[in-house]
Amino acid sequence: MPLAWCPRLSLRAARLFLAPRRDLAISGPDEPLPVVRIPRTLQRRQEERQSGRRNSTRLVLVRPGRLLISARRPEFNQPARLTLACWESAPLASRGWKNRRSRWDHFSIERSQRETPALRNLSEGSFADLGLVPRVLCALQEVAPEVVRPTTVQSSTIPPLLRGRHILCAAETGSGKTLSYLLPLLQQLLGRPSPDPRSVPAPRGLVLVPSRELAEQVRTVAEPLGNSLGLQVRELGGGRGMSRIRLQLLKQPPADVLVATPGALWKALKRQLMSLEQLSFLVLDEVDTLLDESFLELVDYILEKSHIAERPDELKDPFNPKAQLVLVGATFPKGVSQLLSKVAISESLTTITSSKLHCVMPHVKQTFMRLKGAEKVAELIQILKQHDRADRTCSSGTILVFCNSSSTVNWLGYILDDHKIQHLRLQGQMPASMRTGIFQSFQKGYRDILLCTDIASRGLDSIHVDLVVNYDFPLTLQDYIHRAGRVGRVGSELPGTVISFVTHPWDVSLVQKIELAARRKRSLPGLGSSVREPFPPADVNVVP
């Protein structure tokens, strides 16, 4: 309050009031109060500028050696040998990123190891040590000669599955989960009689997956193995109308193993074109997606129609088949306890989680760029052209560009067309006839760039991908893990890189969680890693 408006306040009292402010320097009772015309901070800055101090380059001490985090502003670099403890506050390179002025800032989580964690600490053991019979081993050798030693997740999953346990396996992307369940599935079917071919088609093994592309991929892995063992593997994908589904199912001979999407299977069950009464092995692959609201009703119906064994001894009765349940995912599924309470399994479920579950991948470089929405297209085109140039000098891999909506995929596609950048597009709103085979042709390398939505982020495997670009930042940490998991897979030919464009404040919140987890070398927060009540406590096997 100005002193003039306070007649009762004596000059002496005002002096006392102002005493702590040494910058006003009241020295004697008769001296007038100094008038501050320029704010002190501004004045100090002007003085600094005049003395040239501000223009001189600031010295930042960067210790030599490899970096875990490299940032545009070197004061945020973190050496590879330093890990922050959970109580230590971390200087985040992305801290001020909600402010618009942080545009064009960037940082990277550097690659700290060469190979995928799934291939590290491989046991000296072989597939034979896991309990697989010679027929299955021969089939594996014949079909996939490159698969010699089991990955960590395969070593932990195959033995309990062969003992007839219900399993929940959550392990990082690209760690070989498909063979983990396919090999025991095929072995379990070998010893059991086929159903009567004259009755309604009734598969004995069912693999449920969330997309047609993934169904196609799993069938491609399972079919040659099945052929070699005398088992029929078929695929049932949606989007092709009831007549196609009917035709697919009436194909002779009937399937021993069916790889299906929930929508198509639901339709077939409703029309009684198929029965699940003979089922002895049920796999939900990418279970976190299958338990999402969009699929939940269909999955509930399918589980209702399958007879899941309540105890392991029920699996042995060939005349009254009961199914073993296998849940597989790269992120720990939410809502799994509700699902299990519906199928009334009285025996405990064996939970297998890898120690690297939900961790930022250590073998893939991940760059985050803070951009304005309007700057993203130009940046993407520059990245694609640069990659193309690199491809000509030394052969590089293919690129996946993720968008959050089908309309963005289409719009971006037109822009790439204008720039004469050849690419493929894959999104959920395409007619089924257009969608067929797109991912396979990308996998085979007919095109180097695939623009897609999250339908390509779940489970799809291509060892040629070396760059993932998150054109739109994913909406959840789960989506980030799945998208990033398309590079750096077991058997990948090239080291992978992920580049993410960060635009919105909610993107920044996720980036800060990722950065903090990387600096602390801990798993990403809030993703859960255990089955909660009402299901009885699970065995937890932590894969080292």
Which secondary structure element, helix H or strand E, spans residue 512, and what is its range?
A: helix 505-520
Check binding of 397 to ligand ADP (CB under 6 A): no
CB 355 within 8 A of CB 522: no
211 in Cβ contact with 452 (< 8 Å): no
- Which of the residues 447 through 476 are near ligand ADP (CB under 6 A)? 459, 461, 463
Please give the span between the terminal C-alpha atoms of the chain, in angstroms, as a whole number.
67
Separation of alpha carbons 478 and 21, rounded Å = 53
Q: Tell me, by CB under 6 A, how many residues bind ligand ADP.
A: 18
Tell me, by CB under 5 A, how many residues bind Mg ion. Answer: 2
Print the binding letters for residues 125-164 with ligand ADP: x by CB under 6 A, - otherwise.
---------------------xx--xx--x----------
Q: Decide whether 108 or 157 has the Cβ nearer to Mg ion.
A: 157
According to the 3-state scheme, what is the secondary structure of 154-200? Answer: HHHHHHHHHCCCCEEEECCCCCCHHHHHHHHHHHHHHCCCCCCCCCC
Encoded tokens for 200:
């309604």
Kindly state whether residue 178 participates in binding ligand ADP, applying the rule CB under 6 A.
yes
Nearer Cβ to Mg ion (109/168): 168
Of positions 106, 111, 166, 177, contacts ligand ADP by CB under 6 A: 177
Q: How far apart are CA 482 and CA 527, in angstroms?
A: 13
The 442-481 contact track toward Mg ion, x by CB under 5 A, reads: -----------------x----------------------
- Of 228-236, 431-439, 448-456, 484-492, which segment contacts ligand ADP by CB under 6 A? 484-492
Residues 237-296 that bind ligand ADP (CB under 6 A): none
Local structure of 129: helix, strand or coil: helix
117, 160, 164, 176: which one contacts ligand ADP (CB under 6 A)?
A: 176
Token duo for residue 544: 């080292």
Write down how long the chain is.
544
Nearest residue (beta carbon) to Mg ion: 459
Of the two residues 176 and 238, which places its CB atom closer to ligand ADP in the complex?
Answer: 176
Residue with tokens 């690199």: 390
Please classify residue 140 by burial: count the beta carbons closer than 10 Å to its beta carbon, then call 0-12 exposed, 13-18 middle and 19+ buried: buried
Shortest spacing between CB 418 and ligand ADP, in angstroms: 35
Minimum CB separation of residue 285 from Mg ion in Å reads 6
Contacts with ligand ADP by CB under 6 A lie at 146-147, 150-151, 154, 173-179, 459, 461, 463, 489-491
Contacts with Mg ion by CB under 5 A lie at 177, 459
